[in-house]
Amino acid sequence: MCFASFSASADESEAAAGQVEIHVETDATSDASETTPIVGWIELNGMLRESPVPFAWVAESDAGPSLQSLLDQIAAVRDGEEHKGLVLFLDQPELSLTQCTAIADALIELRATGKTVMTFAEAYDLRDYIIASAADMVLLQQKGSVELMGIAVEEMYLAGMLEKIGVKPDLLQVGKYKGADETLMRSEPSEAWDENFDALLDGLYEQSISRIAEGRGMTREEVESLMADSWTLTDQELLARRAVDQVVDRDLIEVTEVSFGEYFEWDTELGLYATTMDTSNPFAMFSVLFAEPTVQTDRPTLAVIHADGPIMSGDSSYGDGLFSEESIGSRTLVYALEDALYDENIMGVVLRLDSPGGSALASEVIWQAVRDVAAEKPVFAVVGSMAASGGYYIVSGADQIYVQPHSILGSIGVVGGKITLGGLYDWAGVSITRRSRGPGGDLFNSVEPFTTEQRVTVRKALQVVYDQFIDRVEIGRGDRLPDVSTVAEGRLFVGTTSIENGMADRLGGLDQALADLAEQIGLDEGEYDVVNLPGPMSLNEYLNSLFGVSSPAVAMDSDLPAFMGAAKQLLGPVAWRNISRSMQGMMLLQDEPVLMMMPTAIVVK
């Protein structure tokens, strides 16, 4: 869980900061107390949420910080006249590359106001260092380390294992570079997938190197030389190589006094205040728990719709943090888009999406809803870590697409088929008697692969969906992407390249998209509200989803959660989130024969 320290006093901030000792001595008789400057302090560890808290009875402050709340804190320092600067303590955060880029961009905006930004850490890895490179000063704990390892990806190919247990995937795909069938059907990558994925990794690496070089005032060669040596260097050698600006004690006094003066106060709240439920009054408590949340607008408003996870038909889910993660349900998204369309006070919509793709049908249903809104009101899309396959299908319907440099876009292609278990049945001594009636009744039987005739039929169906995908992208992007074929066939691109080739429009995150949308509509700052759709789920709705009718879930053996927990611990929360999303998406083959899925989970090590 990601944690940011929020405390009102200097003593409390010292405790919340773990072992970091923050001491500020002030002279009570000094006139300086009337004009004492304020310095922001943020402690960052663990993961950051990407979406608002989905439950009405859970306060934002109780759910742990989100990326947006962190950016709001940085903005509070930027806009606060009394704030002189910010110290960001990077205490082993678990962040994606796109989150690091968004934080770094916010620090650059803060520095542009003339205020001082420092980062402090016991150890920096590549992702931490992308953030730190945006600061005025990179501070390292004495005897700390900087470990700037390059980007590495390990891909698993399961054909050999599946063959041993008698399982035979029978998948087809449309898109030369798609690669969606390779994990299950090959023991090594194809030449096309090698070409596609290597180009993507080149882009991710280039973005990382260029940001560090620009931020630290180094050449590319100097950055790569530092990466090769960093993990073998002492703190003083790191200082000599300009990897860090100062090696410091944990109290930071020697640095903060120079930059901020002898007398200043820490602000550890930065505009975020914890709210707690009154548990002493049971009637008040139950009133809060079972209240039906409503999203009301009474003046010009911009709506933000969050869509995270694989795309499925039905309702969105919010994950259990172990096996299942968030999912994008077409019904939930369509209702949210309709609410935005029919609310006269909502002047425009920002769709923030982070998805590897999923159901082809659900992607089309959501795309249609996006276009319905865009016909009446402007719709901007913001891509998080990725908008791949069905994810890009959806955002292509927006008027403008915003990306981060490390965002992954593309994978325009489809995959479909089935996984046959005939060999496994034989091994286990299971006999299957098949019965069917009518054409195609036995098409997706679990015992045998497709016949030659059946494969022709399946491929025709996939081609229809692929052609529809191309058509939807052409409609949405128009003249900005005159020849979709140059980016189709399953190709993958980083955010900066997607702007160059016409798949996206500009760099930026949610705040930038909201500001541009308001400007386009003609709304000045302070003249409009921002609401999140759909609104949070009430406790009553949540209980109904648990014990009533809900979206399909994966049945797990009682021993499986322990295994999943161990896997998550071993891989780390960010890696596990990406892997479990891909697993969820591929499991859709149980219910839908045609998918638009990113073929592999990308984990940056």
Does 605 participate in catalysis according to the annotation? no
CATH homologous superfamily of 10-148+199-267: 2-enoyl-CoA Hydratase; Chain A, domain 1 (3.90.226.10)
User: In this prediction, what percent of the chain has a pLDDT beyond 70?
Assistant: 76
Q: Among 5-14, 297-306, 344-353, name the one with the lowest average pLDDT.
A: 5-14
Is residue 173 a contact partner of residue 186, using CB atoms and an 8 Å limit? Answer: no
Domains 10-148+199-267 and 299-413+450-534+562-591 share a fold: yes
Q: How is the chain split into domains, by residue range? A: 10-148+199-267, 299-413+450-534+562-591
Q: Which of 309, 143, 151 has its CA nearest to residue 236?
A: 143
User: 595 pLDDT band (50/70/90 cuts)?
Assistant: confident
Average pLDDT over residues 112-126: 96
Q: How far apart are CA 110 and CA 248, in angstroms?
A: 23
Whole-model pTM? 0.82
Ramachandran category for residue 56: left, alpha or beta (phi over 0 → left; psi -120 to 50 → alpha): alpha
In single-letter form, the type of residue at position 78 comes to R
Over residues 365-418, the pLDDT tens digits come to 999 999 999 999 999 999 999 999 999 999 999 999 999 999 999 999 999 999
User: In this prediction, what percent of the chain has a pLDDT beyond 90?
Assistant: 66
Alpha helices (H) in 40-145, listed in sequence order: 67-79, 97-111, 126-132
User: 321 pLDDT band (50/70/90 cuts)?
Assistant: very low
**Would the pLDDT of 194 be above 60?**
yes
**Would the pLDDT of 540 be above 90?**
no
DSSP track, 385-428: EEEETHHHHHHTTSSEEEE-TT-EEE---EEEEEEE-HHHHHHH
**Would the pLDDT of 7 be above 50?**
no
Tell me the C-alpha to C-alpha distance, in Å, between residue 225 and each of 122, 140, 208, 231.
22, 20, 14, 11
Instruction: For domain 299-413+450-534+562-591, give the fold.
Output: 2-enoyl-CoA Hydratase; Chain A, domain 1 (3.90.226)
**Would the pLDDT of 22 be above 70?**
no
* DSSP character at residue 599: S
Does 66 participate in catalysis according to the annotation? no
Average pLDDT over residues 305-314: 93
**For the ranges 45-54, 119-128, 177-186, the one whose mean pLDDT is highest:** 119-128
Q: Which of 389, 396, 498, 580 is catalytic?
A: 389
Q: Are strands 400-403 and 506-507 parallel, antiparallel or unpaired?
A: parallel
Place of tokens 């992607």: 363
Give the three-class secondary structure for 310: coil
Strand partners, 137: 118
Strand partners, 125: 147
| Four-residue CA torsion sign, 443, 448, 453, 454 | positive
Is residue 138 a contact partner of residue 132, using CB atoms and an 8 Å limit? Answer: yes
How confident is the model at residue 133, as a pLDDT? 97
**Would the pLDDT of 32 be above 50?**
no
How confident is the model at residue 342, as a pLDDT? 96
Is residue 473 a contact partner of residue 485, using CB atoms and an 8 Å limit? Answer: no
How confident is the model at residue 564, as a pLDDT? 43
Strand partners, 399: none
Average pLDDT over residues 313-323: 69
User: 567 pLDDT band (50/70/90 cuts)?
Assistant: very low
User: 519 pLDDT band (50/70/90 cuts)?
Assistant: very high
DSSP track, 136-200: SEEEEEEEEEEE-----------HHHHHHTT-EEEEEEESTT--TTHHHH-SS--HHHHHHHHHH
Instruction: Pick 543 or 31 by higher pLDDT.
Output: 543
Over residues 448-506, the pLDDT tens digits come to 999 999 999 999 999 999 999 999 999 999 999 999 999 999 999 999 999 999 999 99
Over residues 139-170, the pLDDT tens digits come to 999 999 999 998 888 888 889 999 999 999 99
Tokens of 605: 């090590």
Is residue 119 classed exposed, middle or buried when 0-12, 13-18 and 19+ CB atoms within 10 A define those classes?
Answer: buried
Strand partners, 168: 420
Q: Which of 51, 96, 168, 178 is catalytic?
A: 178
